[in-house]
Structure 1
Amino acid sequence: MTGKNRPRDMRQWLAHLARTDRLAVLREGVPLKHTLAAMAKLLDGHKAAYFPRPGGHAMPVVSGFMAQRAWIAEALGVESAGLLEAFRTAAESPLPWREVEAGSAPCQEVVLRDVDLLAQLPIPTHSEFDSGPYITAGMVIARNPVTGVQNVSINRIQVHARDRMAILLLPRHLHAFYQEAEARGLELPVAVVIGADPLTLLASQAITPIDYDELEIAGALHGEPLEVVKCLTSDVRVPARAEIVIEGRLLPGVREEEGPFGEFPRYYSAKEKREVIAVDAITHRRGPVFHTIVPAELEHLLLGSIPREATLLSHLQRSFPGVLDVHLSMGGVGRYHLFVKFRKRREGEPKNVLLCALGAHYDLKQVIVVDDDVDVHDPKQVEWAVATRFQADRDLVVISGAQGSVLDPSTTVGVDDIENLPPALQGIGAKMGLDATRPLAYAGHIFTKVRIPGEEEIDIAAQIVPNAVVDWETGTVG
């Protein structure tokens, strides 16, 4: 798709994938418990999966429509190499949204005030030991109770009653809004948006300061202000062309059990008391499509990693102009392992770069800095650089006792009472940096990368004789 033809809603994007043979329609009636997620996982990265009448529900489910980096770039109208720059430009130049009249937006064509979440929405149960059905692709939108500025995030949400859901709030902006409201004894109105277009979903994951509305970044990604509409039960504004909106309130002083749940590190998070949303209404388009993200698979990992990469690249380049590219590896679950492509000018610089990166986001656990002849998007090349340019006694940096991801299970090793571990002690672990760059000066060709002259210019397909048959007695080709 071109930059002028970016998808305005999820349906346009799904239609585009279908036209280009990247959407698989599964048989009707696939069970919502485990089977739907299993089928979507098998198609992950190859085709989006569309499930008509899953579990007998009239509402279809879709998954995996952002499961390739190239697809996300395509939705934005850029080449893959330009994806981070395009996202960074949008994040730095947000466009205020444009409000449409309440009740006139597609997402409010149908209004349900007598709520029964599991009867009205086809919510899957994904992994083997998940404690129940989960909304995994819901953008949670709330307003700062002090300033009124909105925040958008994707949080896991367990549905455990007709009109009640438990939500995981990590120590980020939504959690800060809730803490402020709770301290005042107030409910915090929220909207859970399901079925947004791919660019708005991507914008929701931007790493920004507090009071920076990600829907304005979505507008910049679209190249025009995003249409929003006021919720029917609160002042929260939501994307007008979304498929489904769940309107509710985060309750002060209320906690209910949530979990276990299979999270992005591909392990289960423990059952704990979590914050609770009381649901007041569901609105949706006519003939809505429910979007689910299979946890820990490509759609999940890419949605989080690309905005983080753009933020990390911008952060590093402010201090180190020699930083050319960054990549959060899929083997590092798109969060924990960062590869940095760097044009070194002085010895010792790579260690400064990796220290700067480790301080940029607490999720980062390992940073590898490589030279500008290494493609950081190819893990084999990065491993080759570590194998041939790194020595642990010289090039390794280890920092103990640092704040890391609270979802990293390795941080709990040796903790006897995990369930009662205070939040202030969760996620404490070690950071590691590897300088896998070659020395600036070396004798002969000892660190010269082997290449064959002309290999980049040869079109090998054009040199292969089609349908050739070799006579193995004479060696002739016919």
Structure 2
Amino acid sequence: MTAGASDLRTWLDLLDGRGELARLKHPIDPDQDVAAVLERADGRRAVRFDDVAGAEFPLVGNTVVSREQLGLALGCGPHEVADRFAAALDAPRPCRQVDRDAAPVLANRLTGERLLSALPLTRQHEHDGGMYLTSALLAVRDPASGTMNLSINRLLAAGERELRALLLPGRLRRIFTEAEAAGRDLDVALVVGVHPTLVLASQSPADRELDDLEVASALAAEPLDLVAAPTVDALVPAGAEFVLEGRFRAGRREAEGPFGEYPRTYGPGGPAPVIDLIDAWHRGDAVFQTILSGGREHFYAGGLPREAMCLRALRRAGLDVAGLRLPESGSCRLAAVVALRNPAPGAATTAMLTLFLTAATIKQVTVVDDDVDVLDDEQIGWAVATRVQADRDLLVVPGAKGSSLDPSATGALTAKLGVDATVPADDREKYRQMRVSPADPERVRAHLAELGL
């Protein structure tokens, strides 16, 4: 399996050919109606909206709704996506810089008084603070290394040329804080409408030497084409649908939020840094992109890179990992399942503590043997039901660092739970799974084919 070309429209064509892209031609209200449709289609298909009320461009959402699609985007099977991302982190690939004339994203300049109101921004949830841009990759050059950092931040529109950005702890906030302390505005390019590999790369570890664009390039089938933004100091994907150029204004804060977040509860509002937009560019026949907060696309965007980081950490701890998943039930952030091959005594506890330290958002870890498929919730539940005794196999870590967006946490402090659902090494026969093993599997396959099974 090979990854496709690294732009959004090629990806949408692929989904369309697989019957996984729906198209709504009737006008739709961006105030929660778009989100309602995406929520209903979540896990099933992407949706393109041809006529969003008040906007000049069509809109697409739910561009990745399954682990099978993640594998398709990365050129691997669904069980191999974390390994594929980890390999890109270990070996980023240089990009190709092209001239402006060869960059489709700079083909058209958005002129006139309208800018943000011309775009199909949406209000997704009933208590959100306004119309939000949820899919933009904020491309910022890190002065510490000269490399490009990508991130996705919730962005509240305020007028035609102002965005208010929530900056959670991470690389972008450090870069902005340093610029602000020096009294400097910070250049930023907002990239909208990209291949899933770029969305994933935007969630790479906060390593100031890492170039997130080179991670995306390593994930793609070919080196990623970049172009210098015309006004601000940033490199952007030449095949993106839109680029908005702007600057974070040092010392300025405005009200932002609340907003529905990945735990499917609201993140609080507060004073937020401000981006003033300077210019905007787009491809011919451009399609804007949204990410449904609390949907699978949102889960996978942040979850898969965390899986890769966890996988690397577990292997550095000397564990033989057969599989790892941050399940959708925990928003691909709050829980983890890891399968180990022939775990020695203490291996399950080592895995739990390693994951708690590697990803602070993880508050529950279940460890299973490699006879359990980590992508199958029923198998995981079976392992817990048949291999766990509560007085023997649970680990509780109180008062640990967690996620500030977890509504059950106190601030960012949470209790963490480890569940050892592995088989005791000295009693494996007692726990052996029963199997059906026909003498002639081919004959059985023929029977099933005749039955349409």
Correspondence list, 1:440-455, <5 A: 440-442=425-427, 445-454=429-438
Alpha-carbon contact 1:344-1:350 (below 8 Å) kept: no
The one-character-per-residue Cα deviations of 1:107-147 (angstroms, maximum 9, x if unpaired) are 11112355633322111111111111111111111112343
Q: Which amino acid aligns with 2:218?
A: A
> Of the candidates 429, 450, 455, which is equivalent to residue 414 of structure 2?
429
Give the Cα–Cα distance (whole angstroms) in 2 for the partners of residues 208 and 407 of structure 1.
19
Alignment match of 1:169 (pick from 167, 170, 177): 167
Q: CA deviation at 1:442?
A: 2.3
Q: Percent of aligned pairs with the same residue?
A: 38
Q: Give the Cα separation in 2 of the matches to 1:157 and 1:24.
A: 27
1:301 is matched with 299
> For residues 18-63 of structure 1, what are the alpha-carbon distances to aligned partners after superposition, in whole Å with 9 as ceiling and x for unaligned?
1221111113211111111111121112111010021142310001
* Conserved 8 A contact 2:54-2:117: no
Distance in 1 between the 2:134 and 2:84 partners? 26
1:265 partner amino acid: P
Letter in 2 for 1:216: E
Contact 1:85 1:310 in 2 (8 A): yes
Moved more, 99-108 or 252-261: 99-108
User: What is the one-letter code of the residue matched to 1:233?
Assistant: T
CA deviations 1:62-110 (Å, max 9, x no partner) are 0111111111211222222222222221221111222112354111111
Correspondence for 1:423: none
**Counterpart secondary structure, 1:400:** strand
**Which residue of structure 1 lines up, in the alignment, with residue 281 of structure 2?**
283
Determine helix, strand or coil for the equivalent of 1:392. coil
- Following superposition, the deviation at residue 207 of structure 1 comes to 2.4
Q: 1:464 to 1:225 in 2, by over 3 A?
A: closer
The alignment partner of 2:205 has SS state of coil
Distance 1:146 1:387, change over 3 A: same
Compute the displacement of 1:452 (Å). Answer: 2.5
Q: Does 1:152 align with 2:150?
A: yes
Of the structure 1 ranges 74-83 and 87-96, higher mean CA displacement relative to structure 2 is found in 74-83
Whichever residue aligns with residue 241 of structure 1, its letter is G
What letter corresponds to residue 430 of structure 2 in structure 1? I
Instruction: Write the distance in 2 (CA, Å) between the matches of 1:459 and 1:269.
Output: 56
Structure 2 residue 377 is matched with structure 1 residue 392: no
CA distance in structure 2 between the aligned counterparts of 1:308 and 1:283, rounded to whole angstroms:
32
Pairwise CA distance, 1:454:
2.9
**Could you tell me which amino acid in structure 1 is paired with residue 208 of structure 2?**
I
SS at 1:249 equivalent: strand
User: Which structure 2 residues correspond to residues 15-54 of structure 1 after superposition, within 5 A?
Assistant: 15-54=13-52
Corresponding position: 1:378 with 2:385: no
Contact 1:44–1:64 (CA under 8 A) maintained in structure 2: yes
Instruction: Report deviation, 1:323.
Output: 1.7
Measured in 1, the distance between the counterparts of 2:315 and 2:443 equals 36
Which AA in structure 1 matches 2:217?
Answer: G
Deviation digits for residues 375-432 of structure 1, max 9, x if unmatched? Answer: 11111211221122222222211111111111111114xxxxxxxxxxxxx3111111
Letter of the aligned partner of 1:447 in structure 2? Y
Write the mapping of 1:284-363 to structure 2, written as runs, cut at 5 A.
284-363=282-361
Classify the secondary structure of the residue corresponding to 1:199: helix
Contact 1:338–1:368 (Cα < 8 Å) also in 2? yes
Deviation sequence 1:141-191 (CA, Å, 0-9, x none)? 111234322100111111122111111111100001001001101101111
TM-score scaled by structure 2?
A: 0.95
For the Cα contact (< 8 Å) 2:142–2:208, is it kept in 1? no
C-alpha contact 2:189 2:236 (8 A) present in aligned 1:
yes
Alpha-carbon contact 1:32-1:123 (below 8 Å) kept: yes
Match of 1:474 in 2: none
Matching of residue 368 in structure 1 with residue 353 in structure 2: no
Measure, in 2, the Cα distance between the counterparts of 1:457 and 1:258.
60
CA deviation profile, 1:329-362 (whole Å, cap 9, x unmatched): 1001100100010123422221112111111111
Equivalent residues of 2:242, 2:281 under 8 A apart? yes
Which one has a bigger Cα radius of gyration?
1
**Which letter maps to 2:425?**
L
Structure 2 runs not aligned, ≥5 long: none
- CA RMSD in angstroms comes to 2.0
Q: Structure 2 counterpart of 1:79, which letter?
A: G
C-alpha distance 115-304 of structure 1, shift in aligned 2 (>3 A): farther
Q: Tell me the amino acid that sits aligned with residue 450 of structure 1.
A: M
**Cα distance change of structure 1 residues 467 and 319 upon mapping to structure 2, 3 Å threshold:** closer
| Equivalent residue, structure 2, for 1:79 | 77
Contact 2:56 2:118 in 1 (8 A): no
Query: What letter is aligned with 1:402?
Result: A
- Please, what TM-score do these two structures have when normalized by structure 1? 0.90
Q: Which amino acid aligns with 1:244?
A: F
**Equivalent residue for 1:439?**
424
Amino acid at match of 2:158: H
Distance verdict in 2 for CA 1:332–1:345, change over 3 Å? closer
Residue segments in structure 1 that go unaligned for 5+ positions in a row: 413-425, 469-478
Provide the rounded CA distance (Å) in 2 between the counterparts of 1:56 and 1:107: 23
2:92 to 91, 94, 104: 94
Give the equivalent residue in structure 2 for 1:8.
6
Tell me the alpha carbon deviations over residues 242-297 of structure 1, each in whole angstroms, 9 at most, x when there is no partner.
00111111111111111111101000111211111111111111111000011111
1:280/1:103 Cα in 2 relative to 1: closer, same or farther (>3 Å)?
A: farther
Q: Which amino acid aligns with 2:261?
A: E
Partner SS, residue 393 of structure 1: coil
